[in-house]
Amino acid sequence: MQKSHEAEHLDGNHGISRLRLRIAYGAMLIAAAVLFFVLDTWGKELVAPATEPAAEPGAAVPASKADALVHLLIALAVVLIAGRLLGRLFYYLGQPPVMGEVVAGILLGPSLLGEVWPAAAAFILPSSLAPNLAVVSQLGVILYMFLVGLELNLGVLRRQAHAAVVIAHTSIVVPFLLGVALALLLYPRFAGHAVAFTPFALFVGIALSITAFPVLARILTDRQMQRTPLGILALGCAAIGDVTAWCLLAFVVGVAQAKLGDALVTLALAAAYIALMFLVVRPIAFRFLAHFEKPPLPRGLTALIFAALLLSALATEAIGIHALFGAFLLGAIIPHDSVLARTFLSNLEDLVTVLLLPAFFAFTGMRTHIGLVSGMEQWLICGLIIVAATVGKVGGTLFSARLGGLGWRNATALGLLMNTRGLMELIVLNIGLDLNVISPPLFAMMVLMAVATTMATAPLLQLLHPKNAEP
Q: What is the CATH number of domain 18-43+72-464?
A: 1.20.1530.20
Residue 235 and residue 253 in contact, taking contact as beta carbons nearer than 8 Å? no
Give the chain's largest Cα–Cα span. 70
In the 8-state DSSP scheme, what is residue 129? Answer: G
Surface-to-core class of residue 346, CB atoms within 10 Å of its CB (0-12 exposed, 13-18 middle, 19+ buried): exposed
Residue 192 and residue 435 in contact, taking contact as beta carbons nearer than 8 Å? yes
Distance of alpha carbon 231 from alpha carbon 251, whole angstroms: 30
Q: For residue 231, how many other CB atoms are within 10 A of its CB?
A: 24
Distance of alpha carbon 61 from alpha carbon 246, whole angstroms: 35
Distance of alpha carbon 54 from alpha carbon 237, whole angstroms: 37
Distance of alpha carbon 106 from alpha carbon 446, whole angstroms: 13
Percent of residues in the chain assigned helix, strand, coil, to nearest 5: 80, 0, 20
Distance of alpha carbon 81 from alpha carbon 87, whole angstroms: 10
Residue 420 and residue 394 in contact, taking contact as beta carbons nearer than 8 Å? no
pLDDT, residue 52, reads 54
pLDDT, residue 335, reads 86
Print pLDDT tens along the chain (471 aa).
Answer: 444 444 444 444 444 467 777 788 888 889 988 998 899 899 888 887 865 554 444 434 445 555 778 888 898 999 999 999 998 999 888 888 888 888 999 999 999 998 899 989 888 888 888 888 888 988 988 998 898 888 877 766 666 566 788 888 899 999 999 999 999 999 999 988 778 898 899 999 999 998 887 778 778 877 777 667 788 788 778 877 877 777 788 778 777 776 556 667 777 888 899 899 989 999 998 888 888 877 788 888 899 999 999 999 999 888 877 788 889 889 989 988 888 888 998 889 888 888 888 889 889 998 899 999 988 999 999 999 999 999 999 999 999 888 877 888 989 999 999 999 877 888 889 989 988 899 999 999 999 999 999 999 988 988 887 765 444
Residue 429 and residue 102 in contact, taking contact as beta carbons nearer than 8 Å? no
Residue 334: φ, ψ to 5°: -85, 130
